[in-house]
Chains A and B, each alone.
Chain A
Amino acid sequence: MLFRRIYQFLIVYSVAIAFLWMIKMGLSLSDYVIPGFSLVVETAGQVFKEYFFDVINTLSVAVLGQALSIVLAFTVGISGRKSSWIGSFIKVTAYNIQAYPIVALAPIIFILLGDGFIPRLMIASMICYFPLLLSVLGIMATPVENIEHFYIVTGRMRWQLEVKIRAFENLSKLTTVISGSATLAMAGTIVGEFIAANAGIGYSIRIALYQSDLAKILVALFMIGIIISIYQGILETLGEQMKSKWSISNGGEVL
């Protein structure tokens, strides 16, 4: 799973770079517009270490923001799973807010809170929170009737058991949504840094943009892609391990 993610990214990145160089050759563009292979390699040698730590900085904010949004999405999703008025209110609100591009609210957060760790964290959380919430709400609000029936009719159903049944039955969906939201969290953090932060890879890209240094941007994109692929691969592997741990009997024979 982990290596597949990295291979996939390398293929996509190589195709994109090859396309850029084809344009460069086709239109005889200078290195100033589209840097050549040697310039990209040279730039990579100069900024690799700095950008690596910048991406790690961004990733740590994204991971924290994602964790925060997962906790929030599960809390709200579990509370809103019932078809009570609170549940309906949460669902309608989530659907409506989801329809709005949350990233457009980023400037307000920076104006109110300034540029630093908290605004970056907030933007990362907000961007991946609503898609997560909608998925969790959808899963938690859908009964697994052929399992839940027994517990309901015998009076054994508790909210913890209901949540456990629904989460277990939708484990594949949940792990896919959680690993997918990692990209959203990373994108949110980078956008936040790009707008007004003072650290992270988004901030470094902004500086490179002001210098019109495409080589630096290409190196930054490569670093982001590799590290997010590793992070997503780890999440997916953890999800797979959790699924197999939950669903395959230890020592039980297949009949």
Chain B
Amino acid sequence: MYLECHNLNFTYPGNTTAVINNLSFSMKDPGFNALFGPSGVGKTSLAKMIANAKFRSDGDITTGNIDTILYSYNLERLPGWSSTGNHLDKVTAPEKQSLKEQLTGIFELNDVLGSRFSQLSMGQQNRINLIRYLLQEFDLLIMDESLANVDEKLRETIILAIKEVFSDKMFLYISHNLLEVSKFCSQILVFRKSSENKNSFVIEGQDCKKGYSLDKKQLDATMLEIMNAF
């Protein structure tokens, strides 16, 4: 399983400055990877290009053993005409019912399945949205700030559970949380502003898994490396 980008460029229509300029990187094997960088450097644009074939040119993004790519983001909503539990049921295949129950337990959402989406807090809304993506068939799931507004402790629980339950899938996690990305991600693509004309590159993260013991020195080194990459 791999994802490779070769000399990728992207400019918004009507704009002269490229958001993504000559970007090349590769990520291999299943795991929890990240796109990291300041706002406006092109993380979401890259994610949309990866997820949507119509934004790509021939050969600039290649994948191996990745057939289905899904892109989820934190402002998504569920329709308001019935409860979130009903919506989850409708988009869950019968063979994934037990996985749904497992995930709603881990994501601490069992108490709100009878409520409408608009009645949930923002963190609950993001969690319910992420669950419905995890219940679909996919090889690569892009999570664009999908855990925004979720408290730190629960976010850690969720990330560790995703890494354990979906160990054969690839994830691209977009987040602005340096500590979280350094701690849990395997490969981190650090973006630089295209105006600075420096290449973006991939840094190895700590890739902590369930029951991990953290090497703080290593973590500090990763965080420093990411910060110096800006």
Contacts and interface: CB of A to CB of B under 8 A. Distances in A.
Contact of B83 (A164, A249, A255): A249
B77 A153 contact: no
Contacts of A253: 114-115, 119
A254 B79 CA distance: 17
A153 B71 contact: yes
B206 to A, nearest CB: 31
Contact of B119 (A146, A164, A249): A249
A252 B76 CA distance: 21
B115 A164 contact: no
B142 to A, nearest CB: 10
A147 B116 contact: no
B169 interface: no
A154 interface: yes
Interface string B119-153: 11100100001001100100000000000000000
A117 interface: no
A246 B118 CA distance: 12
B51 A150 contact: no
A172 to B, nearest CB: 13
B119 A246 contact: no
B12 interface: no
A147 B73 CA distance: 11
A156 B93 CA distance: 12
Interface string B82-112: 0100000001000000000000000000001
Contacts of B70: 153-154
A154 B51 CA distance: 12
A149 B112 CA distance: 23
B75 A252 contact: no
B80 A156 contact: no
A247 interface: yes
B76 A150 contact: yes
Interface residues of A, number: 19
Q: Interface size bucket, B side?
A: 20 to 34
Contact of A164 (B77, B81, B133): B81
A182 B134 CA distance: 47
A150 B124 contact: no
Contact of B80 (A146, A168, A254): A168
Contact of A254 (B73, B77, B119): B119
Most chain B beta carbons < 10 A, residue from A149, A150, A165, A249? A150
A134 B132 CA distance: 35
A154 B112 contact: no
B66 interface: no
Nearest to B138: A154
A147 B115 contact: no
A151 B132 CA distance: 11
A156 B78 contact: no
B79 A147 contact: yes
Given A154-B136, A165-B79, A247-B81, A255 B124 contact: yes
Most chain B beta carbons < 10 A, residue from A164, A252, A254? A252
Interface in A6-64: none
Contacts of B118: 247
Interface of B: 51, 70-73, 75-81, 83, 91, 112, 114-116, 118-121, 124, 129, 132-133, 136
Given A146-B77, A149-B71, A150-B76, 8 more contacts: A146-B75, A146-B76, A147-B77, A150-B72, A150-B132, A247-B80, A248-B116, A254-B119
Interface of A: 146-147, 149-150, 153-154, 156, 164-165, 168, 246-249, 251-255
29 contacts: A146-B77, A147-B77, A149-B73, A149-B76, A150-B72, A150-B76, A150-B129, A150-B132, A153-B70, A154-B91, A164-B79, A165-B79, A246-B81, A247-B80, A247-B81, A249-B114, A252-B83, A252-B114, A252-B115, A252-B116, A252-B119, A253-B114, A254-B115, A254-B119, A255-B112, A255-B115, A255-B120, A255-B121, A255-B124
